[in-house]
Structure 1
Amino acid sequence: MTTFNPAESRFETDYVGQVQIPIDKLYGVNSVRGFQNLSVSPLTIAHYPEFRNAFAQCKWASALANLDSGVLTNPQCESIVLACREVIEGKCDDSLIVDLLEGSGGTSTNMNFNEVIANCAQRLMGHTAGSYEVVHPNDHVNCSQSTNDVYPAALKIATYAMIGPLISEVEKLAAQFDKKAEQFADVLHLGRTCLQDAQPMRLGQLFSGYASLTHRLATELGAVRDKLRTLPLGGTAIGTGFGAPADYRGFVYMHLCHITGVEYLAPTNSFDAMQNMDVFSRVSAELRTCSASLAKIASDLTMLSSGPVGGIGELILPEAQAGSSIMPGKVNPVLPMSMIQLSFAVIGNDVAVAQAVQYGELEINHFEPVVSSRVFDSIALLTNGIQRFREKCVAGITASVQRNEEHLIQSMAVATALVPELGYAKVSKLARQSVAEGRSLLAILEESELMSQAAAMAAIEKASHPVFQD
């Protein structure tokens, strides 16, 4: 962005000096400064469409509110609205050049949008980009706003939009676990605690627990998503609302709700809304909880499918791909492994968000870009990862009924089921004998004529059913 043909360029000047801009680009001098000084990651502010759209929606609603308040003319408002629509359609993405992780506290991001929308509006009105003779980035596109209220408002709107598809994916995964619980309802299974044999149960009961957890994760994500509907828009720089007409805030929320279809609300205390980002601690915590919970399930599936000869082998996962470049025929549980791995990333993102929320200073938090970057990353990882985990792994899980029953019957864990018939002391002695001799407890029972194998199996069946009603 330093060498262009002057005939194919335009020039803009700020207090640092003059910059040369290709004539086919819509950004301006402030965007160039942000790009030159603060490009540190591979992602621009156009990378996540929800964020790009949220900023344009805020500018769109503000233009209409400023028209209502009498501070913009009809032509200015109409051209800004049309430009915002072009941004939302992705037509200006190549001019949104500022890094998502830029360190200006969001000013470079806001000015990139202001300049692109202003120049797009200029062209739509038949004027030259960069002249700003009818629509100016600061005076008109940014009218009644500051970076300090529009950036966090756009961040909340984008996060709200992105969490919707994530909740849908979590709900689909929960429904898949429900199906597996039903599919495996009659499969006897060896329950384990502390990785040791414990009690008889049904494999379907194990999956019903996974289903219940996943339904709860979806519910909690929905609850925290709803907390994002309160925005700081209208507070301008520090919460006083200075710089905006008195009636602007009422108008801007009315238009924003119409544009987005979501009932966004003004805060009860605008200073709190500007100073604090605690809602993102809660959002990020739920994303962390979701990832950690699903990683636990993924770890269980990895363990129960281990083998096929030297492991547990009670579950059979779909074979997705070769597992080794040197060991022929080896297949790894790559989908569960992927879920576990992405949980590490989401947990790391949560630490970054917590630090950013903590280090806001006085009237604003100027570390919003790292919150945007980390929260969006977590949502994208989970949304994509859960979809693949469900489609390519969970949906195709089958059970080795024989392996499940063998492990249960050969284990001393069946002893618990026999206590009501034989008493704790007698069963404990028989269980120790089973371990010492390496023989199944059922064989010892039948040999000692204390209980037939059929009677023992009936006791096991009874023990594997819940004693309470859900």
Structure 2
Amino acid sequence: MSKKQVTKAQTITAPKERIEKDLLGERSLPVDVYYGVQTLRATENFNITSICVGDFPALVKALAMVKKACALANKKLNLLENNKAEAITQACDEVISGKFDNQFVVDMIQGGAGTSTNMNANEVIANRALEILGHEKGCYDIISPNNHVNLSQSTNDVYPTALRLALIMSTPELYESIALLGYQCKQKAVEFSSVIKMGRTQLQDAVPMTLGQEFEAYYATLKEDLDMLKAVTDNFREINLGATAIGTGINTDPEYSSLVIEELCWIADIHFIRATNLIEATSDMGAFITLSSMLKRTAIKVSKMCNDLRLMSSGPRAGLNEINLPAMQPGSSIMPGKVNPVIPEVVNQVAYEVIGNDLAITMAAEAGQLQLNVMEPVIAFNLLRSIKFLTNAFNALATRCISGITANEEHCKSMVYNSIGIVTAINPYLGYEVSTRIAKEALATGENIINLIKRDGLLTEKQLADILNPENMTQPRRQFSSDKK
């Protein structure tokens, strides 16, 4: 083989790497990656969840929007040269479009209060900006991740601002899933408005109601929580951008904070406001706690709904069997014909996850010390996960369960008229003592309440028909007649 051929072969097989350095020394990276040495070290240090920042596109997009706003503000203040600012903003636009999600490789849970996430963004944007200007990645003397992309910034104002923006952008899908679930419950409320069934307290027969009223209650609770979630999310419009390290605004121009927030408003099309006290806003986790609590509240309420669905559909022969859930899959590897309520079951499990996430967020928020809360990454991780999990779970519950529910109308009706609980509807006519005697005898003998009343001549057929009219038993009515005959 000639010397020329050897050189060519070596060129083909040689690893394509570049060298970068930081305060800890030099490291080699694949030449084609856009992240740099600080991101590399973070991937080695924080191999925790195998879930990366890039797995949450809304957070990546939010980071790039914040970086773009910073670049534009610095340009207007003549702190960043025009060509560098334009290259950085173009790179930010490409990140916003989703082109570089796979370059955000830092684990969501990390030490350093989010510094690794911020540097991941700085390095990706800087290296893409260098390419735009015709330079090789890593030529940080031209465009630096710290000196240019991170100009007038700190992780401590960029990261929480980006998280707030990411949450604002992520919650509309959750709103839509709650609205869809509420819509399906409302449809069933109308469909089942005439299906009378037995209401229960403490799993014991109580008084009659309609199946429609039950689903109307589900709709009402979902609507209430949707309105409250929207109000809570509105808190995230208050940001500390421009606060830098601890809220004093060190290393920024006096006009910078107002200017950068104005730029971010235009970029994100969201009306952000500057926190009244930037030192307080830099360390405070109150808005995150409130949102997490609301997510937990909604999860618990929907989980309770799923418990109801599983009870009402229990059987089909040896349970309540009031409703039929749509069959989604075979339910057993050993019991032929068995079908399980798998959609309500999975939603229950999502609720437990959200409840656990809320506890993690609570402890992380409490762990803040002095001017910064370094546990913010786990808060970000769990909030974004809870929103994603609930969105998917509510969509599944709405489309793969609620929409296909049918009622066993005759069975529900027979349980009402054979129930001991029906005596409550008759109590105003016969009085508590007589009604109790009738109920005790029915329990002891298994006899029907109505038959016992007829046997003793306590009410006429006409009175019974009026009293036991489903409409009269399931809503308020005027004062009853005192006549017994």
Residue 52 (structure 1) aligned to one of 57, 60, 73? 60
Structure-1 separation of matches of 2:92 and 2:468: 67
Residue 98 (structure 1) aligned to one of 98, 103, 106? 106
Change (3 A) 1:190 1:444: same
TM (norm. structure 1) is: 0.97
Residue 225 (structure 1) aligned to one of 233, 250, 256? 233
- Is the counterpart of residue 151 in structure 1 residue 189 in structure 2? no
- Is the counterpart of residue 136 in structure 1 residue 152 in structure 2? no
- Is the counterpart of residue 467 in structure 1 residue 476 in structure 2? yes
1:298 counterpart letter in structure 2: C
Per-residue deviation, 1:460: 2.4
Matches within 5 A, 1:161-310: 161-310=169-318
Q: Does the aligned pair in 2 maintain the 1:11–1:21 contact within 8 Å? A: yes
1:422 counterpart letter in structure 2: L
Structure-2 separation of matches of 1:163 and 1:33: 32
Q: Does the aligned pair in 1 maintain the 2:156–2:282 contact within 8 Å? A: yes
Change (3 A) 1:261 1:38: same
Structure-2 separation of matches of 1:468 and 1:124: 76
Q: Which residue of 2 aligns with 1:315?
A: 323
Change (3 A) 1:5 1:255: farther
Q: Which residue of 1 aligns with 2:356?
A: 348
Residue 107 (structure 1) aligned to one of 97, 109, 115? 115
Structure-2 separation of matches of 1:431 and 1:139: 83
Per-residue deviation, 1:454: 5.6
Q: C-alpha offsets along residues 217-247 of structure 1, whole Å, 9 cap, x if unaligned?
A: 1011101100111111110001011111111
Structure-1 separation of matches of 2:202 and 2:116: 53
Instruction: Report the 3-state secondary structure (helix = DSSP H, G, I; strand = E; otherwise coil) of the residue aligned with 2:468.
Output: helix
Give RMSD over aligned pairs: 1.5
Per-residue deviation, 1:447: 2.8
Per-residue deviation, 1:446: 2.3
Q: Does the aligned pair in 2 maintain the 1:353–1:374 contact within 8 Å? A: yes
Which residues of structure 1 form unaligned runs of 5+? none
Q: Does the aligned pair in 2 maintain the 1:445–1:453 contact within 8 Å? A: no
Higher deviation after alignment, 86-95 or 126-135: 86-95
Structure-2 separation of matches of 1:455 and 1:5: 96
Q: C-alpha offsets along residues 142-189 of structure 1, whole Å, 9 cap, x if unaligned?
A: 001000110011111111111121012111211211111111111111
- Is the counterpart of residue 359 in structure 1 residue 367 in structure 2? yes
1:61 counterpart letter in structure 2: A
Per-residue deviation, 1:6: 5.7
Structure-2 separation of matches of 1:468 and 1:459: 10
Structure-1 separation of matches of 2:96 and 2:202: 53
- Is the counterpart of residue 390 in structure 1 residue 371 in structure 2? no
Q: Does the aligned pair in 2 maintain the 1:442–1:453 contact within 8 Å? A: no
Structure-1 separation of matches of 2:281 and 2:433: 65
Change (3 A) 1:62 1:203: same
Residue 51 (structure 2) aligned to one of 36, 43, 51? 43
Structure-2 separation of matches of 1:132 and 1:315: 66
Q: C-alpha offsets along residues 383-404 of structure 1, whole Å, 9 cap, x if unaligned?
A: 0000000000011111111111
Structure-2 separation of matches of 1:457 and 1:329: 41
Residue 368 (structure 1) aligned to one of 371, 376, 380? 376
Runs of 4 or more above 3 Å deviation = 4-7, 452-455
Q: Does the aligned pair in 2 maintain the 1:200–1:463 contact within 8 Å? A: no
Change (3 A) 1:446 1:290: same
Identity %: 38
Which residues of structure 2 form unaligned runs of 5+? 1-11, 479-485
Q: Does the aligned pair in 1 maintain the 2:195–2:412 contact within 8 Å? A: yes
Structure-1 separation of matches of 2:92 and 2:47: 24
Change (3 A) 1:187 1:7: closer
Q: Which residue of 2 aligns with 1:450?
A: 458
Structure-1 separation of matches of 2:188 and 2:417: 23
Change (3 A) 1:442 1:453: farther
Per-residue deviation, 1:452: 4.6
Structure-1 separation of matches of 2:53 and 2:221: 35
